[in-house]
């Protein structure tokens, strides 16, 4: 089960797929999706009969529930929120360690080859590419996409999810990978050699590729192999004739071509995961497309960001929390009990970590390490370290700990010159994309643990016995 259609069938079978007919690609589809994310149990939406388009469909909300995320990650399709988080604990490091045991499997046939469009005949707007938000600068075909690149020297393959706007009347699309992201580093290395960078992009695939492409899989590990480790299956790929790069054979739509340093086009603004539009229109590398491949009536995998909760904020929070916790444990720090990259901070800006403190300086170590982990460094703003009696996923508890166990003068460290982004609404136009971050120690002071005032709730065992005795009061 490595393609989108079998994933859709499964989701339909447990009642979490809704068909939406007749929406318009120009903001209406995006608005329906946005309204859906705000419902208590958002469904996956499959848009069909899109206004002005006889063929082509768009999927949104793919990873927005525990059942769909559990299915996508091969953890089980009957889990609730807590069970998905529990099932994920420790998995990212296992997947990273076993990725290379799941090399892609080259195949020569696939429904993706049913329609092959060469070079200048390519028109990305022959598909119902949405303009997602009212103030977007254009139509973004790349939201849930996978941009596949390679390192010219090591030949490592990377798959990253970077936004892509259709430009040049449908003949090209920009790729807005932030400098420092693995895909951007690959492209830079080709340019430094004076060569064009070969690129493949898939626009509709099993959402596991949205998860692996859209979260910080460790450097040097192919997201295609990592996805294979997640699913316990080698991913079938075609080999692009022009670029030699792997193309997921289960893809609905894919393109291959090249980026070059002198082929740029203006892109943006775009409604981003921070909850704000991304500044002014700016130049970004635009693809010279050699070939486009698509299935009949293909499905574009949409994952539009916005003010949280948005399309992939649930997935990002759950995945990044697991990755951060794993990375802290792998770094050898003792006592780490949990990490949560809160959805309200887009899964990046506000991270809480709980620790059973064991020595003076322990909580500071955990806080500063977390703020700079590869899984967390980009666009982090606050790390809050709490004791292990605090539920890191519960904002009320985290705020209570900050309010009662933290002396701001002593317990908040501010670090500047850190990895920010042009997406940051706090960045002044034209300034270099640094940010700063606060590491908040909201644990009881280590040297006062024995004498720190006791929490004034009942003893848990006593409360349980009272609950049992007075069950009818709480029924």
Ligand X SMILES: Cc1cc2nc3c(=O)[nH]c(=O)nc-3n(C[C@H](O)[C@H](O)[C@H](O)COP(=O)(O)O)c2cc1C
User: Residues in the site for ligand X, rule: CB under 6 A?
Assistant: 143-144, 158, 160-163, 176-178, 181-183, 213-216, 303, 312
CB of 162 to ligand X, least distance (A): 4
Contact between 4 and 252 (Cβ < 8 Å): yes
Pick between residue 84 and residue 442 the one whose CB is nearest to ligand X.
84
Pick between residue 56 and residue 144 the one whose CB is nearest to ligand X.
144
Pick between residue 119 and residue 283 the one whose CB is nearest to ligand X.
283
- For residue 334, the surrounding DSSP H or E stretch is none
Pick between residue 146 and residue 383 the one whose CB is nearest to ligand X.
146
CB of 363 to ligand X, least distance (A): 27
Q: What distance in Å separates the CA atoms of residue 31 and residue 143, rounded to the nearest whole number?
A: 15
Residue nearest ligand X, Cβ-based: 214
Pick between residue 128 and residue 302 the one whose CB is nearest to ligand X.
302
Q: What distance in Å separates the CA atoms of residue 191 and residue 262, rounded to the nearest whole number?
A: 10
Long-range contacts of 361-367 (CB under 8 A, 24+ apart): 361/446, 362/333, 362/334, 362/335, 362/446, 363/441, 363/443, 363/446, 364/413, 364/439, 364/441, 365/333, 366/328, 366/333, 366/336, 367/413, 367/439, 367/440, 367/441
Contact between 355 and 362 (Cβ < 8 Å): yes
CB of 187 to ligand X, least distance (A): 10
What is the bridge-based pairing of β-strands 57-60 and 44-48? antiparallel
Pick between residue 271 and residue 357 the one whose CB is nearest to ligand X.
271
CB of 287 to ligand X, least distance (A): 14
CA–CA distance from 104 to each of 2, 20, 73, 183, 256 (Å)? 12, 34, 18, 19, 18
Pick between residue 25 and residue 314 the one whose CB is nearest to ligand X.
314
166: which 2 tokens?
């259709």
68: which 2 tokens?
């769909």
Pick between residue 2 and residue 143 the one whose CB is nearest to ligand X.
143
CB of 275 to ligand X, least distance (A): 14
CB of 150 to ligand X, least distance (A): 12
CB of 105 to ligand X, least distance (A): 22
CB of 315 to ligand X, least distance (A): 8
CA atoms within 13 A on the CB side of 92: 23
Q: What distance in Å separates the CA atoms of residue 381 and residue 363, rounded to the nearest whole number?
A: 17
DSSP string, 231-294: HTSPPEEEE-TTT--EEETT-SEEEEEEE-TT-EEEE---B-TTSSB--S-EEEEB-EEEEEEE
User: Among 315, 209, 297, 233, which Cα is nearest to 1's?
Assistant: 233
Pick between residue 99 and residue 440 the one whose CB is nearest to ligand X.
99
Chain mean position to CA 21: 28
Peptide bond into 269 cis (omega under 30): yes
Pick between residue 324 and residue 440 the one whose CB is nearest to ligand X.
324
CB of 399 to ligand X, least distance (A): 27
Contact between 301 and 4 (Cβ < 8 Å): yes
CB of 284 to ligand X, least distance (A): 9
CB of 157 to ligand X, least distance (A): 10
State the DSSP code for 169: G
Q: What distance in Å separates the CA atoms of residue 352 and residue 439, rounded to the nearest whole number?
A: 10
Residues counted in the chain: 475
Pick between residue 206 and residue 444 the one whose CB is nearest to ligand X.
206
CB of 142 to ligand X, least distance (A): 8
Pick between residue 316 and residue 405 the one whose CB is nearest to ligand X.
316
């Amino acid at each position: 089960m490595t393609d989108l259609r079998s994933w859709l069938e499964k989701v339909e079978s447990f009642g979490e797929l809704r068909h939406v007919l007749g929406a318009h690609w120009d903001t209406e589809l995006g608005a329906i999706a946005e309204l859906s994310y705000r419902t208590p149990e958002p469904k996956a939406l499959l848009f069909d009969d899109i206004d002005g388009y006889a063929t082509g469909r768009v999927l949104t909300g793919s990873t927005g529930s525990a059942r769909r995320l559990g299915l996508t990650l091969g953890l089980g399709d009957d889990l609730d929120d807590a069970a998905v988080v529990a099932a994920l604990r420790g998995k990212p490091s296992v997947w990273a360690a076993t990725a290379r045991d799941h090399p892609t499997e080259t195949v020569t046939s696939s429904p993706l080859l049913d329609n092959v469009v060469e070079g200048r005949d390519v028109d990305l707007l022959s598909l119902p590419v949405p303009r997602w938000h009212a103030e977007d600068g254009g139509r973004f075909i790349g939201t849930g996409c996978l941009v596949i690149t390679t390192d010219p020297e090591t030949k490592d393959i990377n798959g990253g999810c970077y936004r892509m706007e259709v430009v040049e009347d449908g003949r090209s699309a920009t790729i807005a990978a932030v400098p420092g992201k693995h895909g951007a580093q690959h492209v830079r290395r080709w340019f430094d050699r004076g060569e064009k960078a070969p690129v493949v992009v898939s626009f509709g695939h099993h959402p596991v590729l949205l998860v692996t492409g859209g979260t910080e899989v460790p450097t040097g590990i192919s997201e295609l192999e990592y996805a294979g480790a997640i699913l316990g299956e080698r991913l079938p790929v075609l080999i692009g004739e022009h670029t030699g790069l792997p193309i997921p054979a289960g893809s609905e739509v894919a393109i291959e071509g090249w980026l070059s340093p002198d082929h740029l086009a203006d892109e943006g603004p775009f409604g981003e995961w921070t909850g704000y539009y991304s500044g002014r229109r700016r130049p970004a590398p635009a693809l010279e497309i050699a070939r486009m491949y698509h299935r009949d009536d293909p499905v574009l995998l949409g994952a539009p960001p916005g003010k949280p909760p948005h399309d992939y904020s649930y997935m990002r929070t759950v995945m990044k929390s697991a990755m951060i916790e794993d990375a802290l444990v792998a770094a050898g720090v003792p006592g780490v009990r949990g990490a949560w990259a809160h959805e309200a901070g887009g899964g990046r800006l506000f991270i809480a970590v709980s620790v059973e403190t064991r020595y003076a300086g322990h909580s500071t170590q955990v806080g500063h390490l977390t703020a700079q982990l590869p899984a967390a460094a980009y666009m982090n703003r606050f790390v809050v370290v709490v004791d292990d009696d605090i539920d890191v996923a519960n904002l009320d508890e985290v705020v209570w700990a900050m309010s009662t166990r933290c002396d701001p003068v002593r317990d908040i460290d501010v670090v500047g010159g850190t990895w920010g982004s042009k997406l940051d609404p706090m960045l002044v136009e034209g300034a270099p994309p640094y940010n700063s971050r606060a590491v908040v120690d909201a644990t009881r002071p280590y040297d006062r643990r024995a004498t720190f005032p006791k929490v004034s709730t009942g003893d848990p065992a006593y409360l349980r016995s009272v609950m049992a005795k007075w069950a009818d009061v709480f029924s």
